[in-house]
Amino acid sequence: MILVVNAGSSSLKVSLFTTDLTQIADGAVSNIGGASILTLNDQSADITAKDHASALQQMLGALDQAGHKTTDISAVAHRVVHGGAYFSEPARVTPEVIEAIRACIPLAPLHNPVNLLGIEAINALRPDMPQFVSFDTAFHATNPDIAKRYAIPDQQYAQGIQRYGFHGSSYANMVSEFGDALPDRLLALHLGNGASLCAIRYGQSVASSMGYSPMSGLVMGTRCGEIDGAAVLRIAHDLGLSEADHLLNKQSGLKGLAGDNNMKNLLARSDANARFAVDHFCYWAAREAGSAIVAMGGVDAIAFTGGIGENAAPIRDKILDHLAFLGSVDVHIIPADEERQIARDAIRIQSDSTS
């Protein structure tokens, strides 16, 4: 079996897959370091988990009690947000890989450190267990330099200031799910509380709406999306760096426009602010889509994934209305399953190393 681990600052999510990619368990530990709650499938229990290693140990025990023999786990695969310029594909965990992930902490200071906690927890509990990592950024490493580079001096570029793109495991899963039916030029939209789109040509990312961070591009639940750098400087001048960061990442987007980042709630409302927020979300998704279509030299199909992309037909329809000038284009809905893709990555690396 393959155990997929997604470590957050005070949480730990796990999914258990057989090697044919059948998911057989799903669980989480929340509020690590406090009054923790362990959830496995439909069952929940209060636990004491002082750190991620303790949380993971108790999750493994819960899996055993539920009839999943954790001694049959052959590998653990982790989500890591940022691979920087180091990683263009998933990797097996080695001391060198750990140091490279650590070197990317300045690029993702809130995420990479806690992603490392999951790896360290497994090392502490089962040091001989093979571990693998999949990066949110790696799928976009195939973007050409002209798409990745900002028009800034070499010194800042050398310090890692460039477009990286995110939601990579989601887009990789989409490519895997299409299989041989993958369109040559696919406009892919991952729409959820975090939202992005990707131009996928012949199975590879050639452009992403997200950039140096997951803040840019489409309007999102609480992130502003595309914004002029001078406006960011003005906000930072007025509020200070920390408050500006909080405002642009946590208080903007749909929440900033209509006071709510839940698209289902906004669609149920009839007030002007809610309608404007929905229209704003769809308009800018379509605007960014035009840019992605240019990057591919056209489009053969459009695919939606993510909570909004899969479940909110009115949003899909509004975006497609903006793109009606394209003529007849196939539209697909692909269920998001980043965990399955992360397990798929681990299985592939294991297979390649033994073949």
In this prediction the pTM is 0.93
pLDDT band at 9 (very low <50, low <70, confident <90, very high): confident
Instruction: Give 238-271 pLDDT, tens digit per residue.
Output: 999 999 999 999 999 999 999 999 999 999 999 9
Superfamily per CATH, domain 182-338: ATPase, nucleotide binding domain (3.30.420.40)
Q: Where are the alpha helices (DSSP H) in 104-228?
A: 112-125, 145-148, 154-158, 168-178
**% of the chain exceeding 90 in pLDDT:** 93
**% of the chain exceeding 70 in pLDDT:** 100
pLDDT band at 353 (very low <50, low <70, confident <90, very high): confident
Give the mean pLDDT of 286-312: 98
Instruction: Give 97-127 pLDDT, tens digit per residue.
Output: 999 999 999 999 988 998 999 999 999 889 9
pLDDT recorded at residue 42: 87
Nearest to 16 by CA among 90, 81, 72, 92: 72
Structure tokens at 18: 């057989």
Instruction: Kindly tell me the sign of the dihedral angle through the C-alpha atoms of 201, 203, 209, 210.
Output: negative
Per the residue annotation, which of 136, 145, 260, 271 is the catalytic one?
Answer: 136
Instruction: Give 174-212 pLDDT, tens digit per residue.
Output: 999 999 999 999 999 999 999 999 999 999 999 999 999
Q: Round the average pLDDT of the chain to a whole number and report it.
A: 96
Residue 354 has pLDDT above 90, yes or no: no
Q: What separation in angstroms does the CA of 299 have from each of 48, 139, 176, 331?
A: 52, 19, 19, 11
Name the β-bridge partners of 54: none
Known catalytic membership, residue 136: yes
pLDDT band at 355 (very low <50, low <70, confident <90, very high): low
Structure tokens at 303: 């695919």
Instruction: Examine domains 2-135 and 182-338 and report if their fold is the same.
Output: yes
Give the mean pLDDT of 268-285: 98
Domain layout of the chain by residue ranges? 2-135, 182-338
Instruction: Give 22-64 pLDDT, tens digit per residue.
Output: 999 999 999 999 999 999 998 999 999 998 989 999 999 999 9
Contact 189, 309 (CB under 8 A): yes
Other C-beta atoms within 10 Å of 321: how many?
Answer: 10
- For the domain made up of 2-135, the CATH class stated in words is alpha beta
